[in-house]
Amino acid sequence: MTFHTQLERVACAVEERLDRLLAQDPVQERGPSPGGAELGQAMRYAALGGGKRLRPFLLIESARLFGVAEKDALQAACALECVHCYSLVHDDLPAMDDDAVRRGRPTLHIAFGEPTAILAGDALLTLAFEILSDTQTHPDPAIRAELVLNLARAGGWHGMALGQALDLSPERRGFSAGDVAKMQALKTGALFRFACEAGAVLGRSSPSERAALVGYASSFGQAFQLADDLLDAQGDASALGKAVSKDAARGKATLVALLGVDAAKKRLGALLEEAEAALAPFGDRAITLLETVRFAANRTR
């Protein structure tokens, strides 16, 4: 199976499972009181029908290194995707990045209104922890509790939420390249790190294997973000399905703007080498993870 076929296959499996996790039964559809169906519909709008599902893919492929079957990593992968989708919904809000288009569709607050968008984000975040703590995710409660702890740390006030706060802070306009890198390690890196660590947790890996995956995730996150910034600097909105060059318009220099395009491309190449080196302990088993970081670095949308 080629890498792209594998990526699409996993995306379909994630879509299917999310669809089931967000299913509204007929009673729910009517709501416990009038007006009860809208929240679930908004959550479905935010979580279904889009995205490359890269984070779930990383989680599933990391778990596979240790012999964990895809079906046994799918729930944790969906929990992670719920957190990613909630973060997009809240980041798009008028008070935050004020984005009207996401994945080629109106953003959630445009489609459902701002109050429902705030609540649907809250509920997707909460659902992530409901999924992780469910026995269907893993029979061992110690594994479930560890996944919850890791995801809460990755998403929370020392992780993704802090990254977004830094990106919105007044100081952001004066950030050095180092500051931007640290911010991005939190804002987007923390969830990539969780993806790889969760695979290690599900696979009961050794500490050194887990550390290797964390190293890979770090290089992956930086490469992903640099590629994103390069696309943003050069890209066109219709191919990306979202607005481009918005950071620049807001006076927020990206790493690409601070380093220059040539240096950024060189750095991207170095990050690919770092990712490859981090995967060395896994040998040929890690071929898909290696292809994933190459894909993330070289994608055109």
Q: How far is the CB of 120 from a second copy (least distance, A)?
A: 8
Q: How far is the CB of 40 from a second copy (least distance, A)?
A: 6
- Contact indicator for 3, 294 with CB cutoff of 8 Å: no
Q: Closest CB to a second copy among 64 and 109?
A: 109
Q: Closest CB to a second copy among 8 and 38?
A: 38
Q: How far apart are the C-alpha atoms of 51 and 119, rounded to whole Å? A: 21
Q: Closest CB to a second copy among 30 and 299?
A: 30
Q: Closest CB to a second copy among 34 and 207?
A: 34
Q: How far apart are the C-alpha atoms of 196 and 289, rounded to whole Å? A: 10
Q: Closest CB to a second copy among 14 and 143?
A: 143
Q: How far apart are the C-alpha atoms of 88 and 199, rounded to whole Å? A: 23
What single-letter amino acid sits at 25? D
223 sits in which H/E element: helix 207-234
Q: How far apart are the C-alpha atoms of 257 and 236, rounded to whole Å? A: 17
- Contact indicator for 105, 50 with CB cutoff of 8 Å: yes
- Contact indicator for 107, 101 with CB cutoff of 8 Å: yes
Q: How far is the CB of 294 from a second copy (least distance, A)?
A: 29
* Residue 207: exposure state from Cβ atoms within 10 A (0-12, 13-18, ≥19): exposed
Please give the residue ranges that form the binding site for a second copy (CB under 8 A).
28, 31-36, 38-40, 43, 86, 90, 93, 95-96, 114-116, 118-119, 121-123, 125-127, 129-130, 132-134, 140-142, 144-146, 148-149, 151-153, 155-158, 161-162, 164-166, 168-172, 174-175, 179, 182-183, 186
Q: How far apart are the C-alpha atoms of 37 and 166, rounded to whole Å? A: 35
Q: Closest CB to a second copy among 43 and 73?
A: 43
Q: How far is the CB of 50 from a second copy (least distance, A)?
A: 20
Q: How far is the CB of 8 from a second copy (least distance, A)?
A: 29
Which of 46, 39, 37, 1 is closest to 19 using CA atoms? Answer: 46
Q: How far is the CB of 119 from a second copy (least distance, A)?
A: 5
Q: How far is the CB of 152 from a second copy (least distance, A)?
A: 4
Q: How far apart are the C-alpha atoms of 80 and 169, rounded to whole Å? A: 26
Q: Closest CB to a second copy among 169 and 206?
A: 169
101, β-bridge pairs: 106
